[in-house]
Amino acid sequence: MYITPEGKEIFIVDGHTHFWDGSPENQANIHGKQFIDCFYAYHSNLSPEDQLWEKAKFEKYTEDDVYRDLFVDGPDDIAIIQSTYLSDFYKNGFSSIERSTSMAARHPERFIVNGTFDPRDGEKALEYIHYMKENFDIQGVKMYTAEWNGDSKGWALNDPAAYKCFELCDKLGIKNIHVHKGPTIIPLSKDAFDVHDVDHAATDFQNLNWIIEHCGLPRLDDFCWIATQETNVYAGLAVAMPFIHSRPRYFGEVMAELLWWVGEDKLLFGSDYAIWTPQWIVEQFWNYQIPDDISAERSGVQLTDEIKEKILGLNAAKLYGIDVEAKKKELSGAPVQIAAE
């Protein structure tokens, strides 16, 4: 719960968080090391100075850290934990559904744990989707199209094998497909950040919600165009949010484009924890206004309190079927406990 300076309670759903293990013990090779190093560079580069973590903590933080950072020091009511295996880089997976579910067990009312799969695994991917539904009753999955898998260095949402998986998701009621468009490696002629496969998949799977993390950046214009055409495409704001601190005017330009093209009902807050913690992002976001000259270029769009409330929680609550009033009551009766230090 975020309490505004006027005392209003704002319900927060953090749409993009992780509980990873990037420690040297779990790294399978140099790629595993370089992957977490790159995350750490994002962290140290875009965080306010007083929010910086030491490398070792960043590589592997504890369950208590998660509770404290998200719910005690942080304003989150609900956190959506994403799974990402990166099996070519990490021995036991980077962030596995089993480990995250076990972490969430102390406060299950606070977490939604999403699964993931790799369509290139063929039949095994389909079996795995069944396994996740039966054992964890997942409502969503995180797709990472730049993941390496043997000789393959990436895949597209409209690959035939991926379509088989999405058909199964649709059938099992796994509705929310979070997509992280990482840079694709080969072919080199392809735009590494291309988002056009989203268009095909969203058209062909109208029952599924397509939440594109970091709102398609650095292909914001293409993404906006697609999201305008498709009613089931949403923008996750992870990675875009921290620019509010380092480059506030730039953040305003991004938000103006998103509000103009995609609309206030389809934008979802995400801190990308543990790359960033939600407390400072939510606080700065609540106090933020798009500069007038930027807003004027897009017919005066602005982040009103009402719109901010939607972005910070109400939009995600709709996608995940959360009854906000009931949830608020439930949570106020069950404060988060962390072990005494």
Partner 1 sequence: MSMATLKADLEIEVFERLERVTDPELDEPITDMGFVERVEVVDAKKVEVDFRLPTYWCSPNFAFLMAWGIRQQVSSLPWVHEVKVDLKDHCFMERVNEGVNGDRDFREVFTEYCNGESLEDVRLKFMAKAFDRRQETMLLAVREAGYSAQDIVDMTLAQYDALECQGEEDAKQHPRYRELLVSRELAARPDDPVFVTWKGTSLTKDDLKDHLAKLRGTRINMEFNGALCRGLLSTRYKEVKMGDDGPTLIDFIQKAALTNAQAAEQAQR
| Shortest spacing between CB 30 and partner 1, in angstroms | 8
| Shortest spacing between CB 183 and partner 1, in angstroms | 5
Tell me how many residues contact partner 1 (CB under 8 A).
37
| Shortest spacing between CB 326 and partner 1, in angstroms | 39
| Shortest spacing between CB 122 and partner 1, in angstroms | 23
Tokens of 208: 């599924």
**Closer by beta carbon to partner 1, 221 or else 330:** 221
Q: Is residue 55 near partner 1 by the rule CB under 8 A?
A: no
Tokens of 216: 């398609």
Q: Is residue 217 near partner 1 by the rule CB under 8 A?
A: yes
Q: Is residue 130 near partner 1 by the rule CB under 8 A?
A: no
**Closer by beta carbon to partner 1, 28 or else 125:** 28
**Closer by beta carbon to partner 1, 205 or else 276:** 276
| Shortest spacing between CB 167 and partner 1, in angstroms | 27
**Closer by beta carbon to partner 1, 126 or else 146:** 146
Tokens of 27: 């790294």
**Closer by beta carbon to partner 1, 3 or else 41:** 41
Spatial contact of 261 and 224, defined as CB atoms under 8 Å apart = yes
DSSP notation for 270-328: ---BTSS-HHHHHHHHHT----HHHHHHTTT----HHHHHIIIIIHHHHHTT--HHHHH
The residues with which 27 forms a beta bridge, in sequence order, are: 90
**Closer by beta carbon to partner 1, 268 or else 294:** 294
**Closer by beta carbon to partner 1, 3 or else 296:** 296
Q: Which of 77, 118, 199, 253 binds partner 1 (CB under 8 A)?
A: 253
Site for partner 1 in 276-335 (CB under 8 A): 297
Spatial contact of 195 and 216, defined as CB atoms under 8 Å apart = yes
Q: Which of 143, 254, 275, 319 binds partner 1 (CB under 8 A)?
A: 254
Q: Which of 249, 265, 289, 334 binds partner 1 (CB under 8 A)?
A: 249
Other beta carbons within 10 Å of 241: 27
**Closer by beta carbon to partner 1, 113 or else 303:** 303
| Shortest spacing between CB 232 and partner 1, in angstroms | 23
| Shortest spacing between CB 209 and partner 1, in angstroms | 24
Q: Work out whether the CA dihedral 213, 218, 222, 225 comes out positive or negative.
A: positive
Q: Which of 62, 246, 287, 337 binds partner 1 (CB under 8 A)?
A: 246
Q: Which amino acid is at 284?
A: Q
**DSSP 8-class letter at 218:** T
**Closer by beta carbon to partner 1, 188 or else 339:** 188
Tokens of 55: 């490398």
Spatial contact of 320 and 14, defined as CB atoms under 8 Å apart = no
CA angle (97 as vertex; 321, 177 as ends), nearest 5 = 45
H-helix segments, the chain: 30-46, 55-59, 63-67, 97-104, 123-136, 160-172, 196-204, 220-229, 243-246, 248-261, 278-286, 292-297, 305-309, 315-319, 324-332
Q: Which of 48, 218, 263, 291 binds partner 1 (CB under 8 A)?
A: 218
Q: What mask, x for binding partner 1 by CB under 8 A, covers residues 28 to 47?
A: ---x--xx-xx-xxx-xxx-
Neighbour-count burial for 276-295, b at 16+ CB within 10 Å, e otherwise? bbbbbbbbbbbeeebeeebb
Binding site for partner 1 (CB under 8 A): 31, 34-35, 37-38, 40-42, 44-46, 182-183, 185-189, 191-193, 217-221, 224, 243, 246-250, 253-254, 257, 297
